[in-house]
Chains A and B, each alone.
Chain A
């Protein structure tokens, strides 16, 4: 373990500093993705014809490797953090939109009708009825987006030391010090697992009404209900399917974190 926490000076960050930078580069895109995904998803719920093309676009977008995205952006945003943040925000958006659409769609018509009958307007209904019920599905998407985002930041090392913990990999290669690579991989993996656990915890706090075995609940709610979300993993994450069959026969698998943990 000698040297596990000793960072080469060319990184200009301590171990903790690198972790902070990594989290910032990974979580900011997820936050941006979420803010953008909510209105897009709502549009897809409102206008049903919009969803299939959006689903196709997201599948295609998600297939494009991160490195290709990064380098094309260099021309516009330079070798900076922004270049890493933009593609990751897009990937998050792509994972979150189907998750939110599924979640909002899983609200039973009776519940909505009851809300309408109680005189709750559309905006309040969205905020106080539909969104809370969609929380499990949204968080399933958030978990995938967060974990893959944390893992993908490392690739930023290839475009000029924008990879936070990933920069350690470049240094491990440069100085022939495998311990640096071990440090990078282990720390990134631990960060991802901790972030995942934190999201599960927040989800549990937000949904006290869910039974303990959230897995069965979600399966019942949003399972093979319809043309489901997509998302396959470029260099991103892979996971359990919660997919259905699309109308034209292609099946999409969402790397939704349904049954993990």
Chain B
């Protein structure tokens, strides 16, 4: 019960809704950083993943990358770059991007590579050239998996951005880190609630996206 008491106390305190340390500001910060990191990672990972998947090359290198990415402790990487580069946003954005690229890249590669070869062959037989095959056949079929890779990356970025409050980052994680230092448990729990809500909202957003972006045929829904 105490937890809910703390949560309601945090959210009903009007002081938490205004100013640079207010919930709206922190939420916007958090989303802004996450979007920047995800945008950069997507700009790098998606084209490379699509191309390597289309030509079916580089799988071993990508598997190696995935293993390495899984082994690297994200929190450690954050603190390491922060200690090396000092106080600014850059040492926090770099690890976020580095963390987000492998899931996007590897999933996109795997998604495009494992597309059923029959329609791809049919498309080639119809005289489609490489780009058309990739964008009109392989991409729509691979889209659900590609989106789930993006979702992995997005959730990873959102949660790591929380931890990043430990090293100068704004965002919702500030409440948790500051609250722990100030022994203000109400703030800590409020921050944790916001973070969890943000992660779940990301999950929901991607669910909606896959609902609308993925074609019906691929989803396996029968035509009306």
Contact = CB atoms under 8 A, between A and B. Distances in A.
Name B's interface SS.
Answer: helix
A196 B71 contact: yes
A158 B177 contact: yes
Interface stretch (A13-21, A124-132, A171-179): A171-179
B67 interface: yes
Contacts of A259: 59, 63, 66
A142 B20 CA distance: 43
A112 to B, nearest CB: 27
Interface residues of A, number: 67
Contact of A147 (B70, B110, B153): B70
Interface residues of B, number: 73
A76 to B, nearest CB: 9
Nearest to B209: A250
Nearest to B78: A169
Contact of B145 (A173, A233, A253, A255): A253
Name A's interface SS.
Answer: helix
B82 interface: yes
B152 A232 contact: yes
Contact of B159 (A67, A170, A250, A251): A67
Contact of A75 (B2, B155, B177): B2
Interface of A: 59-60, 63-69, 71-72, 74-75, 144, 147-148, 150-152, 154-155, 157-160, 165-166, 169-170, 172-173, 176-178, 181-182, 184-185, 188-189, 192-193, 196, 224, 232-241, 243, 245, 247, 249-253, 255, 257, 259-261
11 contacts: A72-B189, A151-B75, A158-B163, A185-B72, A185-B76, A233-B152, A235-B160, A238-B103, A238-B156, A249-B214, A253-B149
Interface of B: 2-3, 6, 59, 63-64, 66-77, 79-80, 82-84, 99, 102-103, 106-107, 110-111, 114, 144-145, 147-149, 151-153, 155-156, 158-160, 162-163, 166-167, 173, 176-177, 179-180, 185, 188-189, 191-193, 195-196, 199-200, 202-203, 207, 210-211, 214, 218-221
